[in-house]
Structures are given as C-alpha cells and as structure tokens.
Chains A and B, each alone.
Chain A
Amino acid sequence: MPHIFRFHAGRNNNIYDWKTSDKIMPADVREVMDKTNILTSAAGTSIPTPIARMYLFKTAFEIIAAQVRDNKVDTKGIYAGLVSETLDLLELLYKCGNDENKFRYHKWVFDNSQQDDKVINSFFGDQHGHQLLAESFKQAVAEAPFNNRLEITFIYYREGNKELLVGGTSPFTFVFTTPNFTRKLWDRGYKPIAGLVSEDILFDTDYKQLHERDESFIKYVESLVNSERIPPSFQGITEYVINTNTRYHNKFNSTLPSLQNLQIGDTSLTTAKINLKQLHEEGYKQQINNYSDFKMSLPEDSSYTGSLNPLFLLDRMEYEGLYTSPTNKWISTTKVSELEYPATTLSEIMQRELPGVDGISYPFLSSFDFFERCLVKLPDYLLNDEKFLTITNNQGFALPLKPLFFHFFPIGKMKEYLSVEVKGDQVSFTLKIPIFGPTKAYENRSIVYKKTYTADTTVQYSGIIGIYPFTHSTQEELLHTNKYTVASFEKTNVAVTVNSIVFFKKTGIHPVVAPLVPRSQSDKSNVKSGYYQVNESFDIVQLNFKKDNAALACLILPKFKELENGTEEYIYAIDFGTSNTHVEYGRVSMDKVTETKPFAIEEKNMQVAFLNKPRKLQPNDAVSYNDYEFMGNTILEGRQLTFREFMPFQIGPQPSAFVKFPFRTATCESNSFVMNQENNKLFINANIGFFIDSDALTDDIRYSTDLKWKLENAGSDKLNQNRVSLFFQELLLMIRTKALMEQENLRGDIKKLKIALSFPISMGSTLRTNLVDLFEAQKNEVLGTAQPLREASESIAPYYQLRFANVNIQNDSFCNIDIGGGTTDIVLIDKNLENPNILKCYCSSFRFAGRQLWGSGHNEFNMQENGFVSYYKNFIAKNEPAQHTKLERVLNSNSIRTEDVVGVLFSKPEYKFKEIFGENKEFRVIPLIHYTAILFYISRLATLNNVSLPRTISFSGKGSEYLNLIFPTKDDLTGYTKKVLGIFAGTPVRPDFMIEKSNEPKVITAKGAVHFANEKINISDNSWGENALPGNQKQLSITNSYYKGFNNLSLEGQNITYSQLQNGTEYFKEIMLSLSEFFNLLFDNADLCRAINNKIEIKDFSQYKSFFIQPNTDISAFGTLRDSFLAGLAKMQPGDPVAGSPFFFALDYSLVELSREISQKALK
C-alpha cells in the first residue's frame, strides 16, 4: 500500500509518485474532523471570495450532513456551530420575523447581468478601492448559482431603540449570520435571545442541531428544503435535513403549523424565490393553548373571555409539565422577572412574550400581576367587614392585590384562591391557582405561591375613605342611582399619602374615570380632604400611594347594599325653613298615610360607608351602640372633616347620630365653591351644613344660612342657586336612598315616591318659582322620573297634621300659628254654614317671625345689636366660664349671622341660653309682645273675613318654641291667649277655647305636608279644595287673606302699591293708627298688665309702652315704630302691589332694639 500525501481519505489508493487522481470534491473532505470549535470569523474567511462567509455556511451544512449520516456529529465543532447559528436565525424569523419591533429588512442587489463593466465597476463608488471591491464581487457572482446577480436581504435585529445586523439571506442556506453579530450582541448589551424551546438561548455556544429543536420548526425547515423547484445550491442544507430525518425520524412527526410569509413592505421575503416564513401567530398560540400544562383553570363566571387559556408561571418554579408544545417542557431555571414584564393592563399582558421563549406572545400571568409589592396597613381602625370584603377577621390592612386579579377570579370567589395568615408584623398571603393541561390532567394541580409582607414591605395609611351612597342596583329603573361620591380624608404630615383613587368595574380592567377634586386642607390640623365623583357603578377601589417616588397601591372591595325598587308609596315632605329644615315621611297604604315619622337613618340602613369598623360604645346611660364616628386616633382631626363635609353616618335621636332632624338650614362650602360658580358639585364643593353648630365653636368654616330667602332679590344669582340646589340635592339623595333601603316588604317604589315642599304664602311668586325650579331640577336628577312635586302652603300644612291627629277640629273654627325663622304663617278656618262639607280657609303669612327676636336688625352680623346675645355673653362668662371659653369664637364672631349665633346657643342645654330669661325676667316682655302682635293680627284677620274667633289655636314652627320661655304652663298660654284675643276683638272668647301645643312644633308643618300631599289635589289648576276629599274629611276652600294693617278695615280691600304707603299718606297714618291701637289695648288694660306682672314675673309691664309710644307724641312723626316701618318699606319695590302685611314693618327691628335696652339696663 502506498502512502499518499493527502488531506482526505480519498478514493484512489493506487498512487505512486505523481499520478493522476480524483478531483477533490466537497464530499471528499466532509469526513475530515475539525480540530477546533472556535466559531470565529477566521473560518469564514478561508474561501477566496468576498462572499466567503456564505460559502462557509454552505460547507458547514455539507459537512454536518455527512456527519449526521455517519452518526459522527462533532457537536462542539465549528461547523456544528455554523449550522446551529443558521438554524437559530431561521428559528427566530420563524418565531417573530414579521415583528417590526424585532426585525428590519433591507434588500441589497449586486447585478452584473448586463455585463457592463462601466456600470458595475462604479457600483461601490469611483475610488480605486471601490473598483477593486466591485471587481471581486464581479468575480464572485460570476460563479454559480449567482448567474451574475447577487441579491441579499439584510436582516437587522432590534431591541428597543437598538438595531443590529444579524445576517442575510443566502442561496445556499436560506440565511447566514455576520461574523460580528454574536460579538456585538454581547458588547452592546442586548438581552439574550430566547428560542422556541424554553430557556434555549439562541446564538450562544450551546449549539443545537435540527432534531433538538421545536418540532413545528423542524417541520418548517423540512418544508423549506422540500420547496418546489429548490435550486441545487441548497443541496447541503437539503442533505442535512434529509439525513437528520433519517436518523431522528420521530422528530419529524409533527404537523406543519399554519405559516405566514415574512414581509418586506408589500413584498414577501424570499431567497432563490423561496418564501421565508413565520409561524402563524394564532396557530402557534393555539398550539400552546392545546399543549401547555400550565393553563389557568378559571371559574365559569370569570370575566376573562379570551379564547386562549392564560398560563400561570412563577419565577423559576419547580413544576413539571409541557410549556408551549409537546416537545417544550417547562424548565425550572426559567426566570419570570417583574422587571421584564412591567405591563399591567390586560391588553399588554395578552400581548407580552412568554418567558424563556421570547418572540412568542401568549397570555400568561405571574405572581407580580396579582400582588402589590407592599402591604398597606390601615391606621388604628379595622376594616369594616360588614361593608367591605375582608379575607380575615379583624383585618387591619387593605388587600395588596391588583385589580387584574378579579378579571380572572370573581370578587366573590376570592377566598377560594387566596388565604392569609397574620403573625405579628408579618402578613402572609397564599395564592393557589389551579392549572390544567394534557399531561397533568389527572393530577388536579394548583400552583401555590406565598407572598409575605414584613415590616419592610408594609406601609402605613393615615386616612380613611367614605363612599356615598353605599348602594348599588342592577335594575334598569334604578341604574341612575349608581352615582357616587367617594371622599378621602387623610393626614398630610405623613410619609405615605394617597396619590389617587381609581375605581374599577368587577372585571378588574375597566377603570371608571373620576378625577380627584381636593376640597380642604388644614395646616393647623394637618388634614386634607378630596373627593371623587364617580358617575357609574364600580366594584373595586384602588388606593394609589406614593412613597419616596415609588408607586404603591391596595384594594378595597365594597359590599354595596343591593337596591331593588320596592312597591310601596312614600311621601316625603320637606319643610324648608328659614332657620331649620325638617323632613317627615309617611307610607301610603290604602290611600292613607299610615304614620309620619321624622327623617332618620338608623344603623341598619346607613347610607354612607367608611372603611372603619365601628367601636362598641356604652356611655354612662348604659345604652350600647356601634360608634361609627370613631376612626381611631390617627385621623382624629380627619374625622371632623368627614362630619363637616360629608354624609352623617346616622340621623336621628339615637346616641350614635350627631345629626337629628329638624336641622339648621345651612350649607357648608369650600372656598372654590364660592370663588367659581362652576364648582357646584355636591360634597366636592359644598354640602348640607349639618355640622354648623359644632363648627361655629371651633373652625372658621364657611357656612351659608338663610338659604330660603337668598334668591329673593337676586333670583339669577348663580352662587345662591348652587347653594339651594346642593341643599335640595343632598336631601333628595338621602330621601331616595332611604326609601329604597326600607326593609323588604316596605321598600319604596321610586316611581311612586312623592315629595312635598312647603312654602309660606307670603313668599313672592318669583322666589317661589325659582325655588321650585331648582328643586324640580334636582328631583328629576336624583329621582329620575318621579311624581310631580307637591307644593304645600306652610300655613295650611299644619292643619292637615292637626286634623290627622284630631279629626274633630274640622267641625269648629280653628287657627294655626306657624312661627318660623323668617315668616309666620296663619291659617284660619271657619265653619261654613252654607255648605258644612266645605270649610272656608284663610291663609295668611307675614315676615314677622324668629328673626324679629333673634336677629340684629339692619346689620345681621352684629350680634351686639341683639340684647339677648349681649346679655348672654356676660351671663355665661360669669356663670359658666368653661362654656364661655367653648363658645368664645362664636360669641366674638363677626361673620356669623346673629340669628345663627342664637341658633347655636339654643342648640344645646349646656349653653344655658334659656337661663337668661330666668335671670333677667324682663327679657320675657319681648317674645310676649311678639306673640301678642301675632294675636292682634289674627283678631283683625278674623274681623276682616267676618270669621268668628277660633275655638282652637295650635302652634307649629320652630319659632313657636319661644312660647315656652314666656309661659310656664299650657294653661298660662291658653289663659293669656284667650284674654288677649278677647281684648282685641272686643268680645269675650268662647269658654271652650283651647290651645293645641306640640312638643315638636317644627315637625308639624312637614307632617301636615305629608298628609296634604296625599290628598288628591291638583295644585296646578288653582282650584285647591274644590274636589271631594275621601272619607269623612271635609273639603277646604282656601283663600289667601292678609291684614295689611289699616285701622280702618274698609281700606283693606283696596289694591294699592307700596309707594302709597309712604310717610304722611293716609294709608301710612292708618297703619300707625292700628299700631297705636295695638299698643294701647295691650298696655292700657290694667287687668291684663297686672296678670302679666304676676304670671310672667315682669316688674311693671305697662312701663314698656313708652318704648313704642312715648307719651304725648305722634308715632307717625317720631319713634321706633315709624322708623322701623319706613325702613321695611324702603326694601320693597314702590310699584309693587302690597302683598302680605306692612303692619309688621314697624315691628321689624323694634323688638330687637327693646332687647338691647333691657340688656343694657340690666348690665349697668
């Protein structure tokens, strides 16, 4: 055997000396083993052509094909590496080649098919080097298979803004890589590129041959080499695939997945007319959906409706199973890093790429999609588990979950998936996600994840939120009630504050947009409030915090009271008083109001919910109750804000309520409310000032009172309209909610809900229309399509209540005196001899009421003008220094109306305001004159209408409570009234004269209004009382009637204007005459004066006459009565017809002045 000096094994072995032999073909060298596994470019340069690298890959496939055939693959060798890199690039393109975020393509063509040297030599440029380059390319493309034309599509890989040339297309191997790609990938900090098989990093030194790859990809490569009319240049790779198939036939069992052409713009990416393809995304996803063992097993009522079952994957989880395909198993080293998957929205999650196999987007979730990084601890209150969903008893934290959790797992089933364990500072959550898949189906598996929050990952919340109304409905007719105000109160001097509150539907992915409107912030108490108006229903509240610029969040899940419309008819009557407002309501059964009750909110039907669990409280009176108002010490000051700006928890006489009806007619307002008329949102800008009396003592908070009359002379004043509107709105919300929250068999039907609103007949029609319009607007908004408003007369309304209480009053003459803060309303009813079934009814109303006693005259804010107040200041400082201190701010204020100050002083027994009438009994003179003037008016009215004096007089209105200051007993009141009426009428009153006096006179009007509203009276046709009343009730024939005040009653019937009452006119004199008459009758009756002195303990009642009528003077020319009259007249429009009773103009300020005299005298 000769020894032949050759490189390869050779075929001809009979060579001696130089002898003709075989040409060395590629096949001859394939068996030669390589001595290196360094995949450097050096190997790529061994071919004398500029496009050597293309050939290198060709050679690599040829060599490895032979090695596969002979089962002698040098798996670490350089050619194995080149083959692996080619397959890596094909795999990456197959995975996501059409993803513009990952790839860019550029077609490059060197075309010498025209063989025009002049053109082709300048292909690269005109410089010598360029021409040499062109020359060498010319030579290169002259060889097969190029046919003088080389077309390469450059493939660029992208990551974010970075881009890198990976390689190009090749007519030998479809694609090949640049010698620079893997180095630059590393140098430029690209992330490792994952392949189809999990945790397989492409372009690394762990070479993978075809059979070690994803089976669908194997089929794809096979389909490439099986392309029709594939040119012979692909022989190497074709042989490689065929040999691999022969040796690893079982790896070729998969079916070819759905594919789509790779695109460069409008054209397909091809090499040698063969389309390169990408896995059809949907097809691949479907494969994962079929084969993965990590699909989340979602409950049937899950909100997730995607066609693909999302996977649940934990970082490096130790669970076995198929991951994306029958060949790709989950590898427990696969990282699922939150940093790499910052997406939070569902659509982003649906789009993101699976860990370990990037380039494939398929929905998956991990622990960080559900859990927040930090746990938010509530301040020193526990979460109210009756109102909010809790996961454990005595839960002192909010849920550290993301809303997305509930997209997959319904809120109601949370506890099936999540449990918690609290140990000291440590709170551990265990999440158990059931998963399923084809190979693990029998195991009924769950992935369990435990998340523990320690002190380091816990933050402290220093606030509270409240939601109003805490109801929800799915009924069509109640959908409009799903509008909410969410209030946030918190401390400002803490590290962690609420950044925003976001509301979600139960799907967990649909936020309900509601911007935060800050309302108040107190630097003194370091608390602030903010409000969100949420105009649709929500199920999840996410509190977002910022701590050291890092975002934190937690969830609150409200258990709203589900509302259904009831069947019962309710009537709510609002007595919108000048000083106080009252609401009564009654249920109508068989056309009758069963009973009226003051508006109240008990614990069982609380309308508002705060996070805090109530504290059990048992005060000294041994009444135990749940104290919702205590929210812990941390937000003690914040609690004040909730009372002031938001809804009371409860309303009523119970100890757990700080508000009771009737309440002060006032609004509490933010600065922004006053500054900008567009800021007119309930709670957000202003609300009913339930806390006015308490606040008067402490804070300089903006309240508005006198709402009833604010629009009197300025009907289009937007600010005042806003005030009134918001007041009505809040009341209506409370009414609506209450009616719908009644116990099941008594639940109100919102469509039948009737609202009655009472007005004094003295109110001008313009103002009244204004108020009605504002009210109607709110009523329509809050109640939807409800019953029309029932407008009731404040004068007549009490009658209905009294008749309800005592049906007999309709059988005799009757009078009700309703003394309010601003008006006194009189109704006078007489038997009707002509028609016993129709009662004649005279209604009258005048602006002579509480204000004439408790105001301060011209300057309504100067409380020094009021003798009671100035005396009281001295009194309380002297007798109760502690109370004085408490009230100091109120008593020194110049921004609170005097009558409101008196309201505060009357509001609590401990203020001992009434005691000044005991200490200085002379003060009793003033209310006595006030009352007597009203009686004088009644007697004149009776005379004027030819009505006999009433047999019964009843009282209503808050103002009438002053009668208690004067008359120790009801008998005294009865006796005095009877006597005075007799004096004024000139004839004795009937012996069976009686007084009906209620302990709660204020509520009578509202109660009456309820009954009134139940009557089938059509108020719009102005024919009140003309229709038959049901049962034994008599009809009312109502007439508005005033006694203007002329001494000569024959003048009363004349239609005159205010200008005719000017000083010196006949009418003026007539009024002055009747005033003289009144005072003379009162003070000149020695019998009466003696009785007063005696009963009411006045030293000498008669002496006070001189205050009004000085001896030997003409009151038309001088004195307080004249002055007061003219001042009142000046406020009227001269051209307007006289309506009401100018008689009382003269008494407008005079009683207050008298109080000042008495006070000054006493204090001297």
Chain B
Amino acid sequence: MRVFIFGIGGTGSRVLRSLTMLLASGVKINQKALTVIPIVIDTDAHNGDTSRTRDVLRNYYTIRKNFVNKTVNSESDSFFNTEIRSFNRLDEKAPDSADLDVQFNFQNQDNTFANFINYNALSQPNKDMIELFYNDSVNQFPELHLNLSVGFKGNPNIGSVVFNDLKYSQQFKNLESSFTANDRVFIISSIFGGTGSSGFPTLVKLIRTSTNNNLAKTKIGAITVMPYFNVESNDKSAINSAIFDTKTKAALSFYSGDTHISSINSLYYIADNNQPGSLPNVEGGVDQINNAHVIELISATAIIDFLNTDDATLESPRCLEFGSESDGSPFTIAQFTNDTKEKYIKPLTKFAYATKIGTDFIPTLSNETFYGPKELNIDSALGMQGEYNKLMEFFEGFKTWSTTEMGSANNGRAFNSFNFEGSDNVNTLVHGKTIEAGIFDKGLSKKKVAAKLTSSEVGLPKDMAIPEKYLTMLYETSCYCLDEFGQLP
C-alpha cells in the first residue's frame, strides 16, 4: 500500500517533519508493504520550514537505505521501519542518484495574482467582478496585487484560483497516471493560513474529479490544523494571528457545506487554544522556520491513525478529534492517554534513548568491544562517514525537534518530553519521571547502558552488516532502557 501524503504550506511541512520523526522512531503501522510518499506543496519554494522538512526526509531515506534491512517494514520492530519514497521515485527503477524530490513545482513564479489571472486583459465587467471580491489595494493587505512568490499570505480565495494550476503540473499528471486501487491519500493543511486552506479543498476537488477512477474514489484522510500558535503582532505584516480565529470560523463554515470536503473518509480536526506565546512574524521565505509544536506531532499521529484504519471503517466519511487525559501547559507525556503513549510516545522514547546513546554515550565508549575497528569501528564512523553523519544529524535534529523546539515557551503550549542533558546516565531522559539512583544502584547509568550495548552487539549475527548491526544494537538497548524505565509517566 502506498499513501501519498500531501503537506500543504508551512503547517503541512512541519507535520511531515513530525511524521518523519515518528516513522524514524519505529511506530508500527498495520499495513503490509506500506510506502509513504510525502509531497510538499507550497508556492513558496524558499520556505524555510519546507526545506527543513525536505532535508529530514532525505536523511530518513538515506538512513533507512543504509542502516535498515530491506525486509524491515512498518510492522517490524525497528527504527526507520517504514519505507518512504519520493513521488519522483515511484518507478522502482529510478536511479538512486536522482535527488529526492518531495515538492510539487506547480507554481513557483515571481508574479502578482493580477498578472497570474491576466487581469489587464479582462473586460470591464469582469474587472469589476474582481474588484467585488478582491482587495485591489497595493499597500495594505494586497490581494489582487499580491506577489505570489511568497505564498498566498493567508488568502485562500487567491489560492483557490492559483491551485487550479496544480492540475496542469507534470507531477499531478504522473500521480494520476500511476495511482492504483491500493493507494491512499492523506492531506495535511492548516485552515487559518493561506496555502493550506486553499490548497486543501482544491486538491480534494482535483482528486475527486480526476479522470483516474482509482484516484477519484480513493480513501482520503486529511487533517485540518486550526490555530495553535500566535505570531508576533506586526502592523505591516499580512499575517495577523489575531484574525486566525476569524478566518478559521469562516473556513469551517464553508468546509461544512463543501461537497468534496464532506467526501473525505477521515477528516481529523485539531487546534490548540492555549496560545500565550508568539512566534516571530515572518511572511514566508527562507526565514519562515517555526519551532516544532506538539500539535504537529499529534497531527502526525493522525496519519498513523488513518493508515491503521481498515478500508471498511473508512467507507463512510467520518471526523475525528484528539483528546488527552488532561490539559496542561506546559504539556507533558503524562497527560497523553495510555493509548497514545503506547502507540506513539513509547517509540519516541525509545528513539530518544537511542539518540542520547548514539550521540552522547557511544562516541565516548571506546573501551567497549563494539567500538573497536574490528567490530563497529565507531572511530571511523562505521566505515561510512557520510551516512553515519546523516544519522547523527538526524539524532541531533530529533533532539532539537523534541526539546528546544517543542519545549519552547514561545510555542504557547510547550511540550516537555525528553531531556538529553547529563553525561553519565539517562535517568532523567523522560520528562516527568526520573529513574531513582541509590548509592549502589546508579539506575540507567552510562556504564549500564554500555554493558547492554555490548551484550546486544555481541548477540547479533556475525554476518549482519555493520550499519544494520549498529542501529539494531541501538534499538535493542533503547528497548532495554525503556523496559528499565518502566511505565511512562
């Protein structure tokens, strides 16, 4: 089964990033031979969020290719267990050298909306019609004269026109030609911005009206991300978070009556009203790199939830919401339900242990057997410097994503999950619960971890490839740590 996951706009990108983290942590999905095909759609080709997501997806691809056995799939006990392919590699025979492309290049022009619709060539009544619906100011809140190079600036009424161009892109044509009855679609979009809220209904329309019946009839999952963060108030900016709610209300009202949106098989809603802090106000472009947010993580779990849902359940459209045991700001692991913890937090905790161990402990355990050149040859980066670095980069990225970003007080609702500090134990790695250390029992000390690493490595088959052995060792040690840790808080 293949799932085409469209991440539209900045929010779409960021949820895809969280999804990548979840997939890296080895979240299990009850689908045999699942291939995730992420597609970023953003008119803003230089969006910082988008390029960061693109990088992390590329790393995932590289890591899985080099550190994971080909037989591993989304049902396996392993990090990076789910296959991710890019839509330009749908053909298995595509050369590996080709860059992983996750972005639809349907619209990437330095042009105003007026030029885009050939406004000047319209008749006067049609020009008046445009004036009736679009702000033709050139100063504040431009619409007609908005430069599309930085996205739609929260103008879905522009996006809804521009996104129709998607239909004419080569990528969409490829999608249409290759889509099979086994495939699914998931669409991530925010409702309060510009790109997501306009791309979403248009994309649904294009899919539902596709000439490929498989595509037109496919199971669609979608998440509509509603306001969950503020941006700094800036009089000159087109993005004004004060109006996010207002726009959301208008869009929700519209969605409720839209026949195509109503046909979505699983429509996930999410929002967070707890928004005391604010993110820097950036109108798209390279500078738009927002902190990861727990809402994005939860949104990413919706995709897992969708993939775990069988076709029969999806036959009739349904809407879903997400609940935790309790509210809290900052939010902590303890507030998730056991179900959530079991499905998503546990793998993430495992991956957190692996991250801590892989980045902080292993490089210092030169006395351990597995470290030596005859074994894993850690000093020489397993003999594959580039790939090893990508993994380390991924671990570092995970750290940043889970702590610095999600834990930021600026997020409105911070999510305190893991703590990667501390050099000789991982007793405090999980926020909310510390492994008690006594005089004799040092808990999950570095020494204890090292011993587990060694025993794990030794226990692995001799013929296992070193990178695979390395990642498996890490996986097993992480599982051990989690076992030692016991119940999540």
**0 or 1 for each of B132-170: is its CB under 8 Å from A? (1 = yes):** 111111001101000000000011111111111101000
Does B198 reach chain A (CB closer than 8 Å)? yes
For window 12-37 of A, CB contacts with B under 8 Å fall at: 12, 14-26, 28-30, 32-36
**Inter-chain contact B248/A59, CB cutoff 8 Å:** no
Contacts of A129 in B (CB 8 A): 115-119
**Inter-chain contact A48/B322, CB cutoff 8 Å:** no
**Inter-chain contact A136/B118, CB cutoff 8 Å:** no
Total interface residues in chain A, CB < 8 Å: 81
For window 3-27 of B, CB contacts with A under 8 Å fall at: none
* Interchain Cβ contacts under 8 Å between A and B, 11 examples: A3-B325, A16-B339, A17-B322, A19-B321, A35-B244, A47-B156, A79-B246, A124-B126, A135-B161, A167-B132, A178-B131
Does A42 reach chain B (CB closer than 8 Å)? yes
**Inter-chain contact A180/B339, CB cutoff 8 Å:** no
Measured between C-beta atoms, what is the minimum distance from B187 to chain A in Å? 13
* Centre residue among A38, A52, A125 by max chain B CB count within 10 A: A52
Q: Say which residue of A36, A55, A59, A165 sits within 8 Å of B243 (CB atoms).
A: A36
Contacts of B140 in A (CB 8 A): 40
Does B217 reach chain A (CB closer than 8 Å)? no
Contacts of B134 in A (CB 8 A): 41, 45, 179
**Inter-chain contact B250/A46, CB cutoff 8 Å:** yes
Question: Which B residues contact A (CB, under 8 angstroms)?
Answer: 115-119, 121-122, 125-126, 128-129, 131-137, 140-141, 143, 154-165, 167, 192, 194, 197-202, 205, 226-228, 238, 240, 242-259, 262, 267-273, 295, 298, 301-302, 305, 318-328, 335, 337, 339-340, 343
Measured between C-beta atoms, what is the minimum distance from A371 to chain B in Å? 46
**Inter-chain contact A108/B319, CB cutoff 8 Å:** no
**Inter-chain contact B132/A168, CB cutoff 8 Å:** yes
Contacts of B262 in A (CB 8 A): 23
Please judge, given known A-B contacts A5-B324, A23-B256, whether A136 and B164 are in contact too, CB under 8 Å. Answer: yes
**Inter-chain contact B323/A16, CB cutoff 8 Å:** yes
Contacts of A108 in B (CB 8 A): 125-126, 128-129
Cα A6 to Cα B252 with chains together (Å): 12
Does A221 reach chain B (CB closer than 8 Å)? no
Q: Say which residue of B117, B155, B298 sits within 8 Å of A45 (CB atoms).
A: B155
Measured between C-beta atoms, what is the minimum distance from A515 to chain B in Å? 49
**Inter-chain contact B246/A29, CB cutoff 8 Å:** no
Q: Say which residue of A18, A106, A179 sits within 8 Å of B320 (CB atoms).
A: A18
**Inter-chain contact B226/A48, CB cutoff 8 Å:** no
* Centre residue among A18, A43, A124, A130 by max chain B CB count within 10 A: A18
**Inter-chain contact B132/A178, CB cutoff 8 Å:** yes
Nearest chain B residue, comparing its CB with the CB of A57: B250
**Inter-chain contact A48/B118, CB cutoff 8 Å:** no
Measured between C-beta atoms, what is the minimum distance from A523 to chain B in Å? 62
Cα A135 to Cα B163 with chains together (Å): 10
Contacts of A58 in B (CB 8 A): 253
Measured between C-beta atoms, what is the minimum distance from B413 to chain A in Å? 9
Cα A28 to Cα B268 with chains together (Å): 16
Cα A447 to Cα B244 with chains together (Å): 54
Given contacts A18-B321, A55-B253, 9 further A-B contacts (CB under 8 A): A5-B321, A15-B322, A18-B320, A42-B243, A45-B134, A48-B157, A48-B254, A53-B133, A108-B129
Does A51 reach chain B (CB closer than 8 Å)? yes
Please judge, given known A-B contacts A5-B271, A29-B248, whether A16 and B325 are in contact too, CB under 8 Å. Answer: yes
**Inter-chain contact B129/A2, CB cutoff 8 Å:** no
Measured between C-beta atoms, what is the minimum distance from A144 to chain B in Å? 7
* Centre residue among B143, B268, B323, B326 by max chain A CB count within 10 A: B323
Measured between C-beta atoms, what is the minimum distance from A196 to chain B in Å? 25
Contacts of A178 in B (CB 8 A): 131-133
**Inter-chain contact B270/A5, CB cutoff 8 Å:** yes
**Inter-chain contact A42/B247, CB cutoff 8 Å:** yes
Nearest chain B residue, comparing its CB with the CB of A51: B133
Please judge, given known A-B contacts A5-B295, A108-B125, A108-B129, whether A127 and B118 are in contact too, CB under 8 Å. Answer: yes
Contacts of A180 in B (CB 8 A): 131, 135-137
Cα A1061 to Cα B270 with chains together (Å): 140
Nearest chain B residue, comparing its CB with the CB of A136: B161
**Inter-chain contact A3/B326, CB cutoff 8 Å:** yes
Cα A926 to Cα B133 with chains together (Å): 111
Nearest chain B residue, comparing its CB with the CB of A132: B164
Q: Say which residue of B243, B251, B323 sits within 8 Å of A19 (CB atoms).
A: B323
Q: Say which residue of A2, A6, A62, A139 sits within 8 Å of B205 (CB atoms).
A: A139
For window 44-97 of A, CB contacts with B under 8 Å fall at: 44-56, 58-59, 62-63, 78-79
Contacts of A17 in B (CB 8 A): 305, 322-323, 337, 339-340, 343
Q: Say which residue of A35, A62, A128 sits within 8 Å of B242 (CB atoms).
A: A35
Does A4 reach chain B (CB closer than 8 Å)? yes
Measured between C-beta atoms, what is the minimum distance from A93 to chain B in Å? 16
Nearest chain B residue, comparing its CB with the CB of A49: B160
Measured between C-beta atoms, what is the minimum distance from A8 to chain B in Å? 8
Cα A48 to Cα B200 with chains together (Å): 8
Cα A787 to Cα B321 with chains together (Å): 115
For window 116-135 of A, CB contacts with B under 8 Å fall at: 124-125, 127-130, 132-133, 135
**Inter-chain contact A46/B154, CB cutoff 8 Å:** yes
Contacts of A621 in B (CB 8 A): none
* Centre residue among B247, B320, B324 by max chain A CB count within 10 A: B247
Closest 6 CB pairs of A and B: A46-B247, A15-B323, A2-B323, A7-B271, A3-B327, A41-B135
Measured between C-beta atoms, what is the minimum distance from A138 to chain B in Å? 9
Measured between C-beta atoms, what is the minimum distance from B155 to chain A in Å? 4
Please judge, given known A-B contacts A130-B121, A168-B132, whether A46 and B256 are in contact too, CB under 8 Å. Answer: no
Please judge, given known A-B contacts A35-B242, A127-B118, A143-B259, whether A46 and B156 are in contact too, CB under 8 Å. Answer: yes
Contacts of B245 in A (CB 8 A): 7, 32-35
Cα A1 to Cα B337 with chains together (Å): 11
Q: Say which residue of A16, A21, A35, A48 sits within 8 Å of B160 (CB atoms).
A: A48
Does A183 reach chain B (CB closer than 8 Å)? yes
Does A396 reach chain B (CB closer than 8 Å)? no
**Inter-chain contact B157/A49, CB cutoff 8 Å:** yes
Please judge, given known A-B contacts A35-B246, A59-B249, whether A128 and B118 are in contact too, CB under 8 Å. Answer: yes
Nearest chain B residue, comparing its CB with the CB of A150: B129
Does A154 reach chain B (CB closer than 8 Å)? yes
**Inter-chain contact A26/B121, CB cutoff 8 Å:** no
Contacts of A78 in B (CB 8 A): 243, 246
**Inter-chain contact A43/B246, CB cutoff 8 Å:** yes
Nearest chain A residue, comparing its CB with the CB of B319: A23
Contacts of A128 in B (CB 8 A): 118
Please judge, given known A-B contacts A43-B243, A45-B154, whether A2 and B137 are in contact too, CB under 8 Å. Answer: no
**Inter-chain contact A48/B340, CB cutoff 8 Å:** no
Does A583 reach chain B (CB closer than 8 Å)? no
Measured between C-beta atoms, what is the minimum distance from B319 to chain A in Å? 5
Nearest chain A residue, comparing its CB with the CB of B142: A41
Q: Say which residue of B131, B244, B301 sits within 8 Å of A18 (CB atoms).
A: B301
**Inter-chain contact A165/B226, CB cutoff 8 Å:** no
Contacts of B320 in A (CB 8 A): 18-21
**Inter-chain contact A133/B117, CB cutoff 8 Å:** yes
Contacts of B272 in A (CB 8 A): 5
**Inter-chain contact B322/A5, CB cutoff 8 Å:** yes
**Inter-chain contact B253/A3, CB cutoff 8 Å:** no
Cα A18 to Cα B156 with chains together (Å): 28
Nearest chain A residue, comparing its CB with the CB of B256: A25
Cα A5 to Cα B321 with chains together (Å): 7
**Inter-chain contact A130/B321, CB cutoff 8 Å:** no
**Inter-chain contact A183/B137, CB cutoff 8 Å:** yes
**Inter-chain contact A47/B157, CB cutoff 8 Å:** yes
Contacts of A133 in B (CB 8 A): 117, 161
Contacts of B240 in A (CB 8 A): 36, 38, 42
Cα A5 to Cα B227 with chains together (Å): 10
Measured between C-beta atoms, what is the minimum distance from B195 to chain A in Å? 10
**Inter-chain contact B128/A48, CB cutoff 8 Å:** no
Nearest chain A residue, comparing its CB with the CB of B336: A17
Please judge, given known A-B contacts A45-B143, A46-B197, A143-B259, whether A21 and B321 are in contact too, CB under 8 Å. Answer: yes
Measured between C-beta atoms, what is the minimum distance from B307 to chain A in Å? 12
Cα A136 to Cα B199 with chains together (Å): 12
